[in-house]
Amino acid sequence: MTTPAQHLIFDADDTLWENNVLFERAIDDFIDWIDHPTLDPAAVRGILLDIERANAAAHGYGSKVFLRSLHDCFERLAERPVDEADVESIARLTVRLANHEVELIPDVSATLEELGARHDLLLLTKGDLDEQQRKIEASGLGHHFRRAVIVAEKEPTVYEALVRDEVLDPDRTWMIGNSVKSDVNPALAVGLGAVHIPNVNTWALEHAELAEGAPRLLLVERFADLTLHF
């Protein structure tokens, strides 16, 4: 099944490539390394998540902010500042993040190739500008998109600005991503369509309840299934 040409806006992290799973592995290693004498792993994760929430609000997203959160968590749990040895140890736990390693979601490249032959593709991702740009370059996917836009946060006003700047027809525009909070609900809020592709590794801070009763909401299980709808 095909439709008239659409404007398809794609999220990047955890939609085109795995991202949060790298952070989760680093958190597991951090918890093992810190080996807290009284708190279990779930409790340590809860403390770290609260710190991440505060740092994301104050400093944004990305591996540098995550590293800051690990340092803050260590200081809270150890009740002392990080020293040089601690800094080196935490850096080793996050080396894969620092290297901006990219692991593509299955079938992404082929699916984008097919969709790009009949639709207008854009990329919208949030986070540190330089870090996100490096990941786009490392992915080898940048050529599929007419434009890649990197923003600090994905809010309804960001979607409105993108529609205005790119002269998009909202009735033919869809946001595609894994995050209900950042991809789906804000797009629906400004009258765009939204496609939710769940990822079991989605960051806890990106979880939200799906907007109810939205007429232009699609749920697909696999990235390749997009070709069944567009």
What's the whole-number average pLDDT of the chain? 92
The one-letter amino acid at 32: D
Question: What Cα–Cα distance (Å) separates residue 216 from each residue in 20, 25, 53, 94, 160?
Answer: 27, 35, 30, 39, 17
Query: How far, in Å, CA of 135 to CA of 90, rounded?
Result: 22
- CATH number for the segment(s) 20-98: 1.10.150
Per DSSP (E only), the strands in the chain are 7-10, 17-18, 103-104, 120-126, 147-151, 173-177, 193-196, 217-219
pLDDT digits (tens, 9 = 90+) for 8-28: 999 999 999 998 888 889 999
pLDDT digits (tens, 9 = 90+) for 111-157: 999 999 999 999 999 999 999 999 999 999 999 999 999 999 999 99
Confidence of residue 204 (pLDDT cuts 50, 70, 90): confident
Please tell me which of 1-5, 50-54, 79-83 the model is most confident about, judged by mean pLDDT: 50-54
More confident residue, 98 or 6: 6
Where do the structural domains in the chain lie, given as residue ranges? 7-16+105-228, 20-98
Quick one: CATH architecture of 7-16+105-228?
Answer: 3-Layer(aba) Sandwich (3.40)
Mean pLDDT, to the nearest integer, of 30-39? 92
pLDDT beyond 60 at 2: no
Angle of CA points 18, 119, 166, to nearest 5°:
85
Query: How far, in Å, CA of 87 to CA of 67, rounded?
Result: 9
pLDDT digits (tens, 9 = 90+) for 70-101: 999 999 998 898 889 989 999 888 887 777 67
Confidence of residue 1 (pLDDT cuts 50, 70, 90): very low
More confident residue, 215 or 192: 192
Query: How far, in Å, CA of 149 to CA of 175, rounded?
Result: 13
CB 161 within 8 A of CB 186: no
Question: What Cα–Cα distance (Å) separates residue 227 from each residue in 94, 121, 194, 220?
Answer: 36, 13, 15, 10
Please state the pTM of the whole predicted model. Answer: 0.87
